Amino acid sequence: MQKPRDSVYKRYIPSCTNRHEPGCCAYWFVFSANRLLVSTDGGTPGIPFAPSLLEWRIEPVRTQYLGTFEDHPCYSAELPPDAASPAGMQFSDIRGLYGAIDEDLFYLVGRAVQIMAWDQTHQFCGRCGAPMDRMTEEHAKVCPSCGLICYPRISPAVITAILRDGKILLAHAKHFKGNMFSLIAGFVEPGETLEDCVRREIMEEVGLKVSNIRYFGSQQWPFPNSLMIGFVADYESGEIRVDGAEIVEAGWFTADHLPVLPEEISIARKIINWYAEEYSTSRVNARP
Ligand SMILES: [Zn+2]
């Protein structure tokens, strides 16, 4: 199953209150239209690092304190969608930064973009319309008029590899680019357990029953606010019948003949890579 990675919390300490002296150098996760501002000095992208955004004459719409990374304060900041990038910097697609910047900083980019977007979309109370106040002890907002408390929204979604006699089920969804095939996935609905969701999505999208559902691992997917929870399950019964609305084609593939797959950043690819390693012919033949 998923290889454990070192915890980001060895280097990052979350907090809502900055207790550093003013003038301390900080990491700035600055977004404009969901693109991240990165410094390009020296060729490799870097997170802007300075005591203040005034260093680059940047005036954000609002900022959020995120805690410390290696004892330096971290902030997210929102710029207008048409903001120009300062000299030596550019706005970059977040997914394109995977593998190009430090993995823990990439994790923080995901956290930063979600906190920034949550602050932007929760300026007013959803129940009574009053302007919301930020809470100081955690990332939460409280309505001073009716008391409603709102937290950053995280939307859990399951993604499952279905195995049958050493083969894996892969499907092509209508919205996939090109001829890519991936695993069956979907958002958890109110009232469901994760296992219920796995069974429902698979039945709805490809008409199969599964059993022996086991946990693989999870991944934040900040596009815009998902938590992907990966599973592996065994085929139990049924014939493939695609729903035609979301899934247009699905089939059983062997580890040695896989179609075009999702990008390496995704948990889908990590699960498929695990399957390919476990079930490739050379590997199976090598078993005693
Ligand atoms: Zn209210």
Ligand 1 centroid–CA 167 distance in Å is 53
Ligand 1 centroid–CA 250 distance in Å is 47
How far from the centroid of its chain's Cα atoms is residue 57's Cα? Answer: 31
Looking up tokens 């001073």, which residue turns up?
A: 144
**Are residues 209 and 238 in contact, defined by beta-carbon separation less than 8 angstroms?**
yes
Q: How many angstroms separate the CA atoms of 64 and 139, rounded?
A: 9
With 0-12 / 13-18 / 19 or more C-beta atoms within 10 angstroms meaning exposed / middle / buried, residue 192 is: middle
In the prediction, which pLDDT does 281 show? Answer: 78
Lowest-pLDDT range, 5-9, 148-152, 258-262?
A: 5-9
In the prediction, which pLDDT does 288 show? Answer: 47
- What is the tens place of the pLDDT at every residue in 221-252? 998 899 999 999 999 999 999 999 999 999 99
**Are residues 161 and 271 in contact, defined by beta-carbon separation less than 8 angstroms?**
yes
In the prediction, which pLDDT does 3 show? Answer: 67
Return mean pLDDT, the chain: 93
* CB neighbour burial string for 198-235, b if at least 16 within 10 angstroms, e if fewer: bbebbbebbebebeebeebbebebbeebbebbbbbbeb
Please, which pLDDT band fits residue 285 given cuts at 50, 70 and 90?
Answer: low
Ligand 1 centroid–CA 195 distance in Å is 35
Does the structure show a pLDDT above 50 at 210?
A: yes
In the prediction, which pLDDT does 238 show? Answer: 98
Give mean pLDDT, residues 269-284: 88
Ligand 1 centroid–CA 128 distance in Å is 4
Q: Which two tokens stand for residue 171?
A: 């499907």
Length of the chain equals 288
Residue 70, helix vs strand vs coil:
coil
SS3 letters across 194-226: HHHHHHHHHHHHHCCEEEEEEEEEEEEECCCCE
Ligand 1 centroid–CA 116 distance in Å is 21
| pLDDT, greater one: 266 or 285 | 266
The secondary structure element, H or E, covering residue 115 is: helix 103-121
Give mean pLDDT, residues 174-195: 96
Q: How many angstroms separate the CA atoms of 149 and 133, rounded?
A: 9
In the prediction, which pLDDT does 236 show? Answer: 98
**Cα separation values, 27 from 4, 48, 109, Å:** 26, 6, 11
**Are residues 2 and 217 in contact, defined by beta-carbon separation less than 8 angstroms?**
yes
Q: For the CA atoms of the chain, what is the radius of gyration?
A: 22
In the prediction, which pLDDT does 23 show? Answer: 85
Give mean pLDDT, residues 34-45: 88
pTM attached to this predicted model: 0.90
Q: How many angstroms separate the CA atoms of 193 and 196, rounded?
A: 5
Ligand 1 centroid–CA 32 distance in Å is 29
In the prediction, which pLDDT does 22 show? Answer: 81
Ligand 1 centroid–CA 199 distance in Å is 38
Please, which pLDDT band fits residue 41 given cuts at 50, 70 and 90?
Answer: confident
Does the structure show a pLDDT above 70 at 287?
A: no
Ligand 1 centroid–CA 153 distance in Å is 17
Give mean pLDDT, residues 58-62: 95
Does the structure show a pLDDT above 80 at 149?
A: yes
In the prediction, which pLDDT does 223 show? Answer: 86
Please, which pLDDT band fits residue 74 given cuts at 50, 70 and 90?
Answer: very high
Lowest-pLDDT range, 24-38, 96-110, 145-159, 236-250?
A: 96-110
- What is the tens place of the pLDDT at every residue in 8-25? 889 999 999 888 888 889
Ligand 1 centroid–CA 132 distance in Å is 8
Ligand 1 centroid–CA 120 distance in Å is 17
**Are residues 204 and 198 in contact, defined by beta-carbon separation less than 8 angstroms?**
no
